[in-house]
Amino acid sequence: MARSSLLLYYFSGSGSFRSFFFFIPTTLALTTSLFILFYISTTSNLFTHYHPPDPSFLGLNSPFGSSTFSPRTRQTVSISFHNHSKTPFQFQVPQIVHLGEGGFGSQRPLEPRFPPDGHGNYVNYNEVYHDRDIFVEDYKEMNRSFKIYVYPHRRNDPFANVLLPVGSEPGGNYASESYFKKVLMSSHFITKDPTKADLFFLPFSIARLRHDPRIGVGGIQDFIKDYILNISQKYPYWNRTGGADHFYVACHSIGRSAMDKANEVKFNAIQVVCSSTYFQPGYIAHKDACLPQIWPRQGVLPNLSSSNRKKLAFFAGKINSPVREKLLQVWRNDTEIFAHFGRLTTPYADELLGSKFCLHVKGFEVNTARIADSLYYGCVPVIIANYYDLPFADILNWKSFSINVATLDIPLLRKILKRFSFEEYLMLQRNVLKVRKHFQWHLSPVDYDAFYMVMYELWLRRSSVRLPLNAFVHPN
């Protein structure tokens, strides 16, 4: 009210002289703005309207897998990299230019199939490593020099069952935790001399604690607190770094809240966990690392040459999250995207061998064993789990062998998957076969398998500032 009466006063009341001087500059400013707007609208595409794409570009009327590829123009960009040994070399990257982005009904354009990296550089999508040379070189150095000290315990420790590696071959959904410890303890990385250690392993098993009737889910936090207190009093190494050169390994998501009474573990130590999500304040991506969740399978790899992938995509699992509910709601009766909820009537392996894409959909947590399952059966994984810090993401170029779909884009799933031409699909699948070895556990570790990859992740995180030990030696 007050404001409008003030304006009225300006225009009606006190003399034409004053209103004249108000009017001239305002009109000038308005005219200039109009000119600028006109100029922008004729030169920029900001104002151009959304054009529905030609359906053939989306491959909608060409059945997936046929030899008719979506028309597109190809351009070649050359990028020069600098090799380790300072010899610049040229590298040809085919850049795929899409003519028909967007889609029917979606106001938001789809993300490019093969987008540039975060800095606008083109990525070589046929390379499964971010930098193979650095990885191979560092790996050798890691393998040669990396040393781990494992905190020992008394032979008659009442909790020896929790601290010792399991006797039998680990199995099941959370096997990764037990596998890692079992393989580590008999590996050449172990040192008995703590002064030679790069990292210190806290050997408690979250899976064992969870099932131990003396502790149970409710007692894990106190156990961890006591355990840290004990080692920090008995040994000088914890206090030296506040735990920064210590690590533990856990696959069950209970491991996350297990550290709630031991904040130093949460904030300083390296947490190698299956439930690695950017969304959780207790997980810090550059400090902590993802442990791949892998359902271990023995014996020879399946014969993929006989696989006949007729289905576009496949999922099986319980409905235990809004994301899975959404998937069910949209794709329940689809003839190309098969989403099974409840018991499967066909063998799981046959489904993974019979589908082009296999869906990993967030359940209670971002992680499940489905990614490793898909890779094992040569199926290209489609990851629908926002904020998942993927296994070995700082080594592997996930875009070269998997597809990431935001939860919000579940209704666009078919469209997203169909944009990949047959050639492009084969490239993704060839890369799946290349990374398969990184997602396998072996009791006697094999170079570049899951065990060595986790060791490499630890090695990348090993540096920490240490106070000299004598700072802790009391004169008396």
Ligand X SMILES: *[C@@H]1O[C@H](CO)[C@@H](O)[C@H](O)[C@H]1NC(C)=O
The dihedral built from the CA positions of residue 319, 325, 329 and 331, taken in this order, carries a sign that is negative
The residue range among 113-121, 301-309, 349-357, 422-430 that interacts with ligand X, by the rule CB under 6 A, is: 301-309
Q: Which of 458, 461, 453, 445 has the alpha carbon at shortest distance from 395?
A: 453
Quick one: 4 or 83, whose CB is closer to ligand X?
Answer: 83
Quick one: 331 or 388, whose CB is closer to ligand X?
Answer: 331
305 lies in the binding site for ligand X (CB under 6 A): yes
Task: Annotate each residue in 251-280 with x if it binds ligand X (CB under 6 A) or - if it does not, as one string.
Answer: ------------------------------
Q: Which residue has the tokens 């442990």?
A: 291
In angstroms, the Cα distances linking 255 to 79, 266, 276, 399 are: 44, 10, 11, 29
The residue range among 44-52, 81-89, 93-101, 392-400 that interacts with ligand X, by the rule CB under 6 A, is: 81-89
Q: Which of residues 133-172 bind ligand X (CB under 6 A)?
A: 133, 140, 143
What tokens does 359 get?
Answer: 């869906």
Task: Annotate each residue in 373-412 with x if it binds ligand X (CB under 6 A) or - if it does not, as one string.
Answer: ----------------------------------------
Quick one: 53 or 219, whose CB is closer to ligand X?
Answer: 219
Quick one: 171 or 194, whose CB is closer to ligand X?
Answer: 194
Strands (E), 131-290: 148-150, 199-201, 246-250, 270-273, 289-290
Q: How far is the CB of 142 from ligand X (least distance, A)?
A: 9
Count interface residues toward ligand X (CB under 6 A). 24
Task: Annotate each residue in 445-464 with x if it binds ligand X (CB under 6 A) or - if it does not, as one string.
Answer: --x-----------------
Q: DSSP label at 444?
A: S
Q: Out of 87, 90, 195, 444, which residue is the one contacting ligand X (CB under 6 A)?
A: 87
Quick one: 76 or 306, whose CB is closer to ligand X?
Answer: 306
Quick one: 143 or 257, whose CB is closer to ligand X?
Answer: 143
Q: How far is the CB of 3 from ligand X (least distance, A)?
A: 52
Task: Annotate each residue in 188-227 with x if it binds ligand X (CB under 6 A) or - if it does not, as one string.
Answer: x----------------------------------x--xx
Q: Which of 442, 452, 447, 126 has the alpha carbon at shortest distance from 301?
A: 442
For 293-323, b/e burial (b = at least 16 CB within 10 A) is: bbbbbeeeeeebeebebebbbbbbbebebeb
Q: DSSP label at 224?
A: H
In angstroms, the Cα distances linking 433 to 222, 245, 299, 430, 437 are: 44, 34, 17, 5, 8
232 lies in the binding site for ligand X (CB under 6 A): yes
80 lies in the binding site for ligand X (CB under 6 A): no
Q: Out of 51, 82, 84, 119, which residue is the one contacting ligand X (CB under 6 A)?
A: 84
Integer Cα distance of 18 and 2 in angstroms: 20
Q: How far is the CB of 459 from ligand X (least distance, A)?
A: 12
Instruction: Indicate the SS3 state at residue 20.
Output: helix
Integer Cα distance of 60 and 447 in angstroms: 43
The residue range among 38-46, 232-240, 248-256, 308-316 that interacts with ligand X, by the rule CB under 6 A, is: 232-240
Task: Report residue 148: phi and psi, to 5°.
Answer: -120, 135
CB 116 within 8 A of CB 123: yes
Q: How far is the CB of 183 from ligand X (least distance, A)?
A: 12
Contact residues toward ligand X (CB under 6 A) are: 83-85, 87, 89, 133, 140, 143, 188, 223, 226-227, 230, 232-233, 236, 239, 303, 305-306, 332-333, 447, 472
